Amino acid sequence: MMDIEPMESCADPLDQASKRELQQIEAVLADRRAALAHREAPDEDDAGRYCLDCAETIDPKRVAAVDAVRCVACATVRERQAGRKWGKGGALHFVEEQEYGGR
């Protein structure tokens, strides 16, 4: 559970709720920043950046566009295994397991 600082005395319950919500959001953001800080760094040299999964060179245009650490094929496999799919307009949505063979 998240550690939440004690509320200073607020007469309005909506102010208390707003402050509590902001504290919770800040705690979640701090957790995500910490997780990103421990993310595996990409392997790079003069030839380019290499995929973290298959070690093939990633297209420099892809690296420049999305700061990719995985090639298209490996990123697609990971998204499918996670049950996510990019929809029209780049919107990310969750899909049913049957769509990918019930994995």
> What does the pLDDT look like over 39-98, one tens digit per residue?
667 777 888 899 988 989 999 999 889 888 889 999 888 888 877 655 555 555 555 444
pLDDT mean over 28-33: 84
- The domain tally of the chain equals 2
Residues 8 and 55 in one domain: no
Residues spanned by the domain of 12: 1-39
Q: What is the pTM of this model?
A: 0.43
Residues 33 and 49 in one domain: no
User: Nearest CA to 44 among 36, 34, 52?
Assistant: 52
